[in-house]
Amino acid sequence: MSQSKQDENPFEENENKAQAEDQTTEEVVAADSAESEEGEVTIESLQEELETVRASADKNWDTVLRMKAEADNQRKRAEKQVQDAHKFAVQKFVGELLPVADSLEMGMAAEGDIEQIREGMSLTMNVLNKALEKFSVEAVDPLGEKFDPELHQAMAMQPSEEYEEGHVSAVMQKGYTLSGRLVRPAMVMVVKN
């Protein structure tokens, strides 16, 4: 077989190639002329399509601007609400403390023996403790407990026969927590024998 292919006329092969090239060239010319005839129609249709796309783009741009404005308005409203929440967060707490202030004022104006004044102070202290309890404020009074640096602040160390080493022997000032978070540590004396 390979022998017969070699025996074929080489001129015939070149002639076939030339005919194929001529056909391809004719096809390209025909396609170009068809495109040029359709070119005017295509330009008009492209202009119409461009106008349609521009109208759609303008509509979408308007939608984007409106959404951006709405997002800005929502952000501003949220910021105002947060500011108001910060400003007035303690309003209920202050409302609960006002009776304590009133009671203290009455106690300051009271005349009488020391026992009546102490009783009035005790009632005032109860009102204050209830108000603090209502808002999850708890006292840290660690007398006799093991020293905890998370809740206590050691002011000094002293020997003691009553308490073990490392325990609180005296509370100089109570500490307070708010919903479990330390607001003020208790100031304490710690035992060191």
CB-CB neighbours of 170 under 10 Å: 15
Which one, of 193, 190, 158, lies nearest residue 171 by Cα? 190
Q: How high is the mean pLDDT of the chain?
A: 83
Q: Say which CATH number the domain at 191 has.
A: 2.30.22.10
Q: Does residue 4 lie in a domain region?
A: no
Q: Within this chain, do residues 166 and 105 fall inside the same structural domain, yes or no?
A: no
The string of pLDDT tens digits covering residues 97-152 is 898 988 888 888 878 788 888 888 999 999 999 999 999 999 999 999 999 999 99
Helix (H, G, I), strand (E, B) or coil at 13: helix
Q: Within this chain, do residues 145 and 108 fall inside the same structural domain, yes or no?
A: no
Q: Within this chain, do residues 31 and 15 fall inside the same structural domain, yes or no?
A: yes
Q: Within this chain, do residues 14 and 83 fall inside the same structural domain, yes or no?
A: yes
Q: Within this chain, do residues 60 and 97 fall inside the same structural domain, yes or no?
A: no
Domain range holding 113?
90-135
User: What is the average per-residue pLDDT within 57-61?
Assistant: 96
Query: Rounded CA gap, 153 and 158, in Å?
Result: 14
Q: Within this chain, do residues 15 and 79 fall inside the same structural domain, yes or no?
A: yes
Give 139 or 22, the one with higher predicted confidence.
139
| Count of all residues that appear for the chain in the document | 193
Q: How many CA atoms lie within 13 A of 17 on its CB side?
A: 5
pTM over cut 0.85: no
Q: Within this chain, do residues 68 and 129 fall inside the same structural domain, yes or no?
A: no
pLDDT grade for 41, boundaries at 50, 70 and 90:
low
pLDDT grade for 176, boundaries at 50, 70 and 90:
very high
In the chain the first and final C-alpha atoms are separated, in Å, by 114
* Least reliable range by pLDDT among 23-27, 98-102, 160-164, 189-193: 23-27
**Helix %, strand %, coil % of the chain (to 5):** 65, 15, 20
Q: Does residue 182 lie in a domain region?
A: yes
Q: Within this chain, do residues 105 and 58 fall inside the same structural domain, yes or no?
A: no
Q: Does residue 2 lie in a domain region?
A: no
In total, how many domains does the chain have?
3
Q: Within this chain, do residues 185 and 158 fall inside the same structural domain, yes or no?
A: yes
Q: Does residue 107 lie in a domain region?
A: yes
Q: Within this chain, do residues 83 and 152 fall inside the same structural domain, yes or no?
A: no
Q: Within this chain, do residues 73 and 110 fall inside the same structural domain, yes or no?
A: no
Give 90 or 167, the one with higher predicted confidence.
167
